[in-house]
Structure 1
Amino acid sequence: MKINTKYHGEVEIEQKDVISFDFGIPGFPDEKEYVILPLAKESVFFILQSFKTEELAFIISDPFIHFSEYQFDIPIDDLETLKIEQKEDVVTFSIITLVEPIEETTANLQAPLLINRNINKGKQLILNDTLYSTKHRIYRKKSSTGQEG
């Protein structure tokens, strides 16, 4: 089937690629179906495109690529909701805020997107009592000594 997208115009997708967010995404409770599309060839960025609303699309990326130390626990209720049985069942993404200059681009580590890849069911998890925020720079500056700062 074909859908209209924010960044790629009309694209062909298969029903099996549609991801259901039963509770929507915070701020968009009525948008319950999305599809993940590549932003560009061989990019670490993707697009989480609403199935029904062309203008609604989020830039996303695997947070572990940008933050190797990133970690969190998935509450039991969410494991059950998403029917996650093994660690390999889940794929994690962060919503990215692209800004100019590109060095100011941030990732939302406080609210990761979890997707059970086996059944294409997703949820945005809100982490409470955490040091993570909604704006972590993904391009960390290097100091004159070559250390990240």
Structure 2
Amino acid sequence: MKIESQVFGSIDIPDEKVIEFPAGLPGFEACKNFALVHEQDSTSSLFLLQSLDNPEAVFSITAPDSLGVSYEFSLSDAETAQLKLANPADAFVAVIVRKEEGAAGSPVTAGMRANFMAPLVINVAERRGLQKIITRLGCDVTLRAEG
């Protein structure tokens, strides 16, 4: 499938790389098919989740551990069924990150923000995903210092 990405221009996505989000993403319910896109030869842990249904819908994502965070939460039986997740090892968890346009010179609001209250869960074996909305902090988050 060939798409026009705002970031990468014209790119070809093989059918076996398409990830289906049956419910879409909150606010982007019409976007059901996505692909993880990465600059060729890049070693960055940041990926783009590019909608194949709407080329303007693209999200920067990364694994929580690449941010120095150990992150655990539970999936409901319905979520596990939606993902067709039989083996927990097939689950890939990612968070959406965005550049924070904070007050000039303020280190508190400058940089990147990660949304840990709405992680993405992708069954890599079945290529199915969902966005888990966590309404209250009932998961375990551990920050570890690097260096």
Question: After TM superposition, is the score higher than 0.5?
Answer: yes
> What is the distance in 1 between the residues matched to 2:16 and 2:39?
20
Give runs of ≥4 in structure 1 deviating > 3 Å.
100-103
The residue type paired with residue 112 of structure 2 is T
The residue type paired with residue 115 of structure 2 is N
The residue type paired with residue 82 of structure 1 is L
Look up the match of 2:10: 10
> What is the distance in 2 between the residues matched to 1:57 and 1:93?
14
How much is the aligned-residue C-alpha RMSD, in angstroms? 2.4
Deviation at 1:64, TM superposition (A): 2.1
- SS of the equivalent of 2:25 reads coil
Superposed CA deviations along residues 48-77 of structure 1, whole A, max 9, x for unmatched, are 001021211000000122143321111221
Look up the match of 2:128: 121
Q: What are structure 1's unaligned runs of at least 5 residues?
A: 133-137, 141-146
Deviation at 1:34, TM superposition (A): 0.6
Task: Summarize the Cα distance change of 1:20–1:33 in structure 2 as closer, same or farther, 3 Å threshold.
Answer: same
> What is the distance in 1 between the residues matched to 2:113 and 2:69?
15
The residue type paired with residue 94 of structure 1 is V
Q: With the length of structure 1 as denominator, give the TM-score of the two structures.
A: 0.81
Deviation at 1:8, TM superposition (A): 0.5
Look up the match of 1:99: 100
Look up the match of 1:29: 29
Look up the match of 1:79: 80
The residue type paired with residue 16 of structure 1 is E
% identical equivalent positions: 30
Superposed CA deviations along residues 96-149 of structure 1, whole A, max 9, x for unmatched, are 0113579521110011101111111110001122167xxxxx9x9xxxxxx79x
Q: What are structure 2's unaligned runs of at least 5 residues?
A: none
Look up the match of 2:58: 57
> What is the distance in 1 between the residues matched to 2:30 and 2:3?
18
- Which has the larger strand fraction? 2
Greater relative contact order, per chain length (Cα 8 Å cut-off, separation 6+)? 2
